[in-house]
Every structure is written in structure tokens, then in C-alpha cells.
């Protein structure tokens, strides 16, 4: 058996991305609540310094490459390595529709990075990103933009109503949240900036606050008396509006009173609760076949209480029993605390062509006593804490 320490390593990533609208991703908030705020890292650093990012949420971008029908990857610039991309179930359809039109263009993803290394050594390492959010290349918009005029008040007070639609808004430039108008943890990218009208504020991304005759400084308050017009497509996350801009122009204040109005600074957010215990990665990745002598590996987001695995990790084949099926009486569990990874040894050869289910029952906890939580959007029986399925290779 290949040691878990040689097969798994988690990483983090991203660089700021000028964005067109991402497809609707219903599980985004749940994944960030589970895995934490994504860390930014360049795609090359995922190969050169991968172990430094183990088990953390990441964000990165690169040119999209098709490796085979329906399967995509990023290729690193420095090492020419492929990092395979796997969307979570909730966004798989939207991803497949969008990705086919983005070949060779820069795409950003947010997810969990992993590497798996076979017995052959470093040359045989394979790299993956299992992601729950993606953003395509920036829109190339020229000439007149057809958009609905929307006030920041209407935009912020009606979360999701205009998500994905082209809108035109006006607001006072507030730099990189220099006045604390929005929670600091809600900033998705260091290049993002804020506009405000009275008590309502939104993040702007995808375009710098500059154009013909103006170049506003996101780090200085001296430009915060200026007003701007922004055309773009909003998305809403946790009640915060993010406007993916396609054009920015200087504007004028709607009135002298509003230009002077300053809302009270937003109070700091409550301390973030400890992240729950969850499975962040599987080997093989769901959707890839498992060998007949394979041993599934589950990596967790937190240090787990190894004692709670006993009697709560099961293997079975999906569907009704078939002639020749054998119970996994030789099942063995090996937990690597350094990697937070559990190896499940079936103790028997797997039946070719069958769907193997790895079942985690309620009662599994981390070392702090927090119970294991399931991935957002997954389907599983009510009496099961988590469930993974793998098709056995023929």
C-alpha cells in the first residue's frame, strides 16, 4: 500500500481575476463556511510549494485546457504540469456548458487542491482541484451596453434579484473598503473596491477604477469624494453584493446632500466559529474509477478522533446484493494524523464494474468533539453522515 503521506498533500491558491459572471453556484456559501476563506496562490506555486497549503480553501486562475472529452485542466507555466479540474456536483452542469466555450482562455476556480503521488516517486505525482466556484474570462464589451438602471439601495435590499443580469449603478468611490462600509472578510480579491450610496454599499471587481481622464487610487482616501458609474453583473453571497464590472466611468453625485452623507462604519463581524470537521478530498476523486485492489483514502479538514471511526466506517456495493457478493469482513482502517487522512483497506478484491460505497455513520468527531458534517448539496440516506461512491474498474 502506498503510504498516505506520499499520496496526499493539500494546497492553496489564486491570483486576482478580471471576471465575467460565474454560473449560479448554490453551495458556495456552505463550502466557504466549511473550509474557510480561500487563500490566493499562483498556479505554479501549487506545484513548487504545494505542501504549504494542505487542507485549506484556495483560489487560482490559468488558461483552460481540454485533456479529454468532458475533462479539463490548468497547465502550469513554469513546470508544464497538468492540474485536473473537478467541479462539485451542484455546479457540474453549469461548468460543462461554460467550459467548452472557454478553451485557451483564463479561468478562475475556488476549491481544494490535492496531489496524489504513486509508488514511482515525484515524477508520477498527479494534481487536482475540486472546486465549487468558477469565474470565466472578462467580457469584451464595446459600444453601447444595454443595462437596467438600478440604485444601490434596490440592489442591496433585493439580494439575488439582479444576479447575472447587466445593470448600471452609480455610487461614491470608497477605495478598498477604506471606511469599513462592508465586512473586511467579505473581500474576495485584493483588487476589489467599494462604491456606496447613502447606507448601501457593494463590492466592484473585474475592472480598475480608471478610464479616460481618471485613475482613482484604491489605497487613498483623497479620491473618495468622486462618484463613478459602473456597468456589470451582480452576484450575491451571504447578503453581500459583488458587481463584476465590464465598464467604469466617472459620474456625478445625485445631490449635494448625498455626496456629503457618510454612513456610520459597519461594526466588526462576530468572531468566525471554528470550521466543522468534513471530508475535503477523496482518492480516487469521485468520478474516477477505483482499481480492484484499490484502497479509498479520505482526507479531513480537521484532526479527527481516531477512536470514533471504529464501527462507523462501512464498505458496501450499491444496489441490491448479487450472487457472489462477499461481506468486507477483513476491513481495516488506518488513520494518518499528520495528513488528517483515513485509508480504508477493504481486505478483499473489489468486484469489477460494481459501484463501491464508503459510508460514514453519525458519531465520527474531530479531536475537539465536533461531529463530522456532510458536503453541501450531497445526497445520502438520513441515517448516514457522509457517503462516497466509486466505480470499480473492469
Instruction: Please tell me the distance from the alpha carbon of residue 280 to that of residue 298, in angstroms, as a whole number.
Output: 8
The residue among 135, 159, 192 that closes a domain is: 135
Asked if 8 and 125 sit in the same domain, the reply is yes
- Count CB atoms within 10 A of the CB of residue 220: 11
pLDDT class of 23 with cuts at 50, 70, 90: very low
Percent with pLDDT over 90 in the chain: 39
> Does position 206 have pLDDT exceeding 90, yes or no?
no
With residues binned 3-state (H G I as helix, E B as strand, rest as coil), the percentages for the chain, rounded to 5, are: 15, 35, 50
Q: Domain check: are 94 and 129 in the same one?
A: yes
Kindly state the average pLDDT of the residues 240-268.
71
Q: What angle do CA 154, 231, 165 make, to 5 degrees?
A: 65
User: How far is residue 133's CA from residue 117's CA, in Å, rounded to a whole number?
Assistant: 26
The pLDDT value given to residue 22: 38
117 is a domain residue: yes
Contacts of 372 (CB under 8 A, 6+ apart): 276, 277, 278, 279, 300, 360, 362, 364, 365, 366, 385, 386
What DSSP designation does 135 have? Answer: E
The CATH number of the domain holding residue 380 is: 2.60.40.1220
- How far is it, in rounded angstroms, from Cα 83 to Cα 65? 10
Confidence label for 15 from pLDDT (cuts 50, 70 and 90): very low
**Cβ atoms of 353 and 327 closer than 8 Å:** no
Of 45-54, 307-316, 355-364, the least confident: 45-54
Domain co-membership, 165 together with 209? yes
Of the pLDDT bands very low, low, confident and very high (cuts 50, 70, 90), residue 334 is very high
Q: What is the mean pLDDT of residues 27-37?
A: 68
Banded model confidence at residue 265, pLDDT cuts 50, 70, 90: low
Predicted confidence (pLDDT) per residue in 141-200, tens digit: 667 888 899 999 999 888 888 888 899 999 999 999 999 999 988 887 778 999 999 999
pLDDT of residue 212: 82
This model's pTM is above 0.85: no
pLDDT > 90? residue 59: no
Last residue of a domain, one of 135, 164, 191: 135
Pairing of strands 240-251, 193-197: unpaired
Q: Last residue of some domain: 135, 164, 183?
A: 135
3 state SS of 212: coil
Rounded Cα distance between 181 and 189, Å, is: 16
State the pairing for strand pair 167-173/126-135: unpaired
Q: Is residue 267 part of a domain?
A: no
Number of helices (H) and strands (E) in the chain: give both, helices first: 6, 22
At 36, is the pLDDT very low, low, confident or very high (cuts 50, 70, 90)?
confident
In this predicted structure, what is the pLDDT of residue 263? 46
Mark whether 248 and 340 lie in a shared domain: no
- Joined grid coordinates for residue 293: 485492489
How many Å is the Cα radius of gyration of the chain?
24
Task: Return the pLDDT at 17.
Answer: 31
Same domain, 97 and 11: yes
Burial class (CB in 10 A: 0-12, 13-18, 19+), 381: exposed
159 and 87 part of one domain: no
Q: pLDDT tens, 285-328?
A: 887 899 999 999 999 988 999 999 999 999 999 989 898 888 89
Residue 268 pLDDT level (bands cut at 50, 70, 90)? low
Same domain for 112 and 224? no
Least confident window among 141-150, 243-252, 316-325, 346-355: 141-150
Q: Which of 236, 222, 231 is nearest to 188 (CA)?
A: 236
Same domain, 304 and 330: yes
Domain tally, the chain: 3
What distance in Å separates the CA atoms of residue 299 and residue 314, rounded to the nearest whole number? 16
**pLDDT of 261 over the 80 cut:** no
Please tell me whether residues 239 and 309 are part of one structural domain. Answer: no
pLDDT attached to residue 215: 92
Do residues 79 and 100 make contact, with C-beta atoms less than 8 angstroms apart?
no
Which CATH number does the domain housing residue 129 bear? 2.40.50
* Domain with 234 in it: 148-260
Distance of CA 388 to CAs 48, 131, 360, 378, Å? Answer: 30, 17, 9, 10
Q: Both 221 and 285 in a single domain?
A: no
The CATH code of the domain that includes 237 is 2.40.50.200
pLDDT of the residue at 141: 64
Count CB-CB contacts under 10 A for residue 239. Answer: 11
In this predicted structure, the answer to whether residue 27 has a pLDDT above a threshold of 80 is: no
Q: How many residues does the chain have?
A: 394
Instruction: Please state, in angstroms and rounded to a whole number, the distance separating the CA atoms of residues 124 and 118.
Output: 6
Instruction: Quickly state the pLDDT bin for 272 (edges 50, 70, 90).
Output: low
* pLDDT value of residue 359: 94
The residue with cell 444595454 is 146
Q: Are residues 237 and 304 in the same domain?
A: no
Alpha-carbon span 167 to 335, nearest angstrom: 51
Task: Assess whether 290 and 365 both reside in one domain.
Answer: yes
Amino acid at each position: 500500500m502506498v503510504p498516505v503521506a506520499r499520496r496526499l498533500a493539500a494546497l492553496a491558491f489564486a491570483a486576482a481575476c478580471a471576471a465575467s459572471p460565474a454560473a449560479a453556484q448554490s453551495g458556495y456559501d456552505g463550502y466557504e463556511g466549511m473550509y474557510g476563506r480561500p487563500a490566493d496562490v499562483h498556479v505554479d506555486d501549487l506545484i513548487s510549494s504545494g505542501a504549504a497549503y494542505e487542507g485549506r480553501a484556495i483560489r487560482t486562475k490559468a488558461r483552460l485546457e481540454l485533456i479529454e472529452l468532458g475533462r479539463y485542466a490548468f497547465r502550469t507555466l513554469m513546470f508544464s504540469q497538468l492540474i485536473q479540474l473537478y467541479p462539485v456536483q451542484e455546479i457540474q452542469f453549469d461548468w460543462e456548458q461554460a467550459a467548452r466555450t472557454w478553451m485557451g482562455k483564463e479561468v478562475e476556480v475556488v476549491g481544494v487542491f490535492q496531489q496524489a503521488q504513486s509508488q514511482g516517486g515525484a515524477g508520477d505525482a498527479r494534481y487536482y482541484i475540486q472546486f465549487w466556484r468558477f469565474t470565466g474570462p472578462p467580457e469584451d464589451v464595446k459600444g453601447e451596453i444595454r443595462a437596467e438602471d438600478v440604485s444601490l439601495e434596490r440592489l442591496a435590499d433585493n439580494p439575488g434579484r439582479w444576479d447575472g443580469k447587466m445593470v448600471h449603478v452609480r455610487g461614491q468611490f470608497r477605495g478598498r473598503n477604506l471606511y469599513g462600509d462592508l465586512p473586511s472578510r467579505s473581500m474576495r480579491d485584493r483588487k476589489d473596491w467599494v462604491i456606496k450610496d447613502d447606507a448601501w454599499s457593494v463590492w466592484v471587481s473585474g475592472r480598475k477604477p480608471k478610464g479616460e481622464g481618471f485613475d482613482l487610487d484604491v489605497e487613498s482616501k483623497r479620491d473618495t469624494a468622486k462618484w463613478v458609474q459602473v456597468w456589470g453583473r451582480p452576484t450575491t453571497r451571504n447578503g453581500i453584493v459583488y458587481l463584476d464590472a465590464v465598464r467604469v466611468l466617472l459620474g456625478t453625485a445625485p445631490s449635494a446632500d448625498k455626496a456629503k452623507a457618510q454612513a456610520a462604519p459597519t461594526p466588526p463581524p462576530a468572531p468566525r466559529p471554528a470550521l466543522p470537521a468534513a471530508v475535503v478530498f477523496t482518492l480516487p476523486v469521485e468520478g474516477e474509477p477505483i482499481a480492484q485492489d484499490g484502497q479509498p483514502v479520505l482526507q479531513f479538514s480537521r484532526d479527527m478522533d481516531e477512536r470514533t471511526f471504529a464501527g462507523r466506517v462501512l464498505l458496501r456495493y450499491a444496489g441490491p446484493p448479487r450472487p457472489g457478493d462477499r461481506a468486507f469482513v477483513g476491513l481495516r482502517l488506518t488513520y494518518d494524523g499528520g495528513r488528517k487522512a483515513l485509508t480504508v483497506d477493504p481486505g478483499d478484491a473489489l468486484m469489477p464494474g460494481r459501484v463501491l460505497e464508503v459510508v460514514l455513520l453519525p458519531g465520527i468527531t474531530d479531536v475537539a468533539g465536533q461531529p463530522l458534517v456532510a458536503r453541501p448539496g450531497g445526497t445520502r440516506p438520513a441515517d448516514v453522515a457522509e457517503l462516497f461512491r466509486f466505480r470499480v474498474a473492469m
